[in-house]
Amino acid sequence: MKDSELFATYLEPLGLTEKDIKLYQAPRQAEVSIEHLAPLSRKDDGSQLLATPETRDQWQLLANEAKAAGILIQPVSAFRSIDYQTTLIKRKLAQGQTLSAILASVALPGYSEHHTGEALDLATPGQPMLTEAFEQTAAFHYLSEYAGKFGFRMSYPRDNDQGFVYEPWHWRFSG
């Protein structure tokens, strides 16, 4: 999708100006097309997560090694379309949150690594999900030590320059 189309279709309707977008720190992310995605896993609610085949393959190797070491790690979010990212933001706006508060932890449509099919939000059973406390879990320690071997990196460390909060649960495959 061209930047001009993204702006007119998704960003301007959220009340953003071209200047807002120029000041936005996170880089643009390409949306992978649906035919280039593979089933990754099912969530507890039965919904299917999708990722690129390479991401899926490397994730499975990593998850299996972790499991053999007694550590369960599960993806709770993977591919998200630009459309869905917009829905997420609109839902939070409807709950009364301000756009600037939302954007500390949710990327603008067109700027989420989840569009690429290479980013995974990870959780471990019985532990707080999608919060900083994830960094205290055995799963996080395992990822910190071994995820790199499988091509995964934590995208948003503390004080990152992309304008996002610290997200110890968000890992991206980059080969």
Min dist CB 170 to Zn ion, Å, is: 4
Q: Which of 137, 131, 121 is nearest to 71 (CA)?
A: 137
- To Zn ion, the closest distance from the beta carbon of 38 in angstroms equals 19
Can residue 172 be called a binding residue for Zn ion (CB under 5 A)?
Answer: no
Query: How many residues line the site for Zn ion (CB under 5 A)?
Result: 2
Q: Which residue is nearest to Zn ion (CB)?
A: 170
Separation CA 62–CA 101 (nearest Å): 33
Q: Token pair for residue 123?
A: 């959780």
3-state SS, residue 104 = coil
* DSSP bridge partners of 172: 119, 153
Return the SS3 of 55: helix
Closer CB to Zn ion, residue 118 or residue 121?
A: 121
170 binds Zn ion (CB under 5 A): yes
Site for Zn ion, residues 113 to 142, rule: CB under 5 A: 121
Under the rule (CB under 5 A), what is the footprint of Zn ion?
A: 121, 170
